[in-house]
Amino acid sequence: MDVAASSWLVIAMGILAANLPFFNDKLFAAVPLKQGAPAADGKRWRKPLALRLLEMVILYFIVGSLAFVLEARIGNAFPQTWEFYAITGCLFLVLAFPGFVARYLRKQRA
């Protein structure tokens, strides 16, 4: 795989992984969580925001690991400092914005 294809793969995986916690109520889109009693107003159970954020952090490290593996296959993997992780973490949060808006800021139709 060449450098351009690896770069686009990491970007696409970052976009998908950042929005994944907001578009479903399963853990990592595969593990159904134990549902409690339905809410008094009849709404279905929803995954709490703290769990969604924890899932995002774990997915950030998974995408970062994929990027490191792809970089190592292309050539030498460059050492990174804390600035790199701060910037990529903020970028991951920016990529998650569409999913956050769809889940929490858009008006839900009855």
pLDDT tens for the chain, residues 1 to 110: 788 999 999 999 999 999 999 988 888 878 777 765 565 555 667 788 899 999 999 999 999 999 999 999 988 888 899 999 999 999 999 999 999 999 888 877 76
DSSP state of 41: T
Axis-axis angle for helices 49-74, 3-19 (nearest 10): 170
CA 37, CA 15: separation in Å to the nearest integer?
33
CA 23, CA 8: separation in Å to the nearest integer?
22
SS3 45: coil
The pTM of this model reads 0.83
CA 86, CA 108: separation in Å to the nearest integer?
33
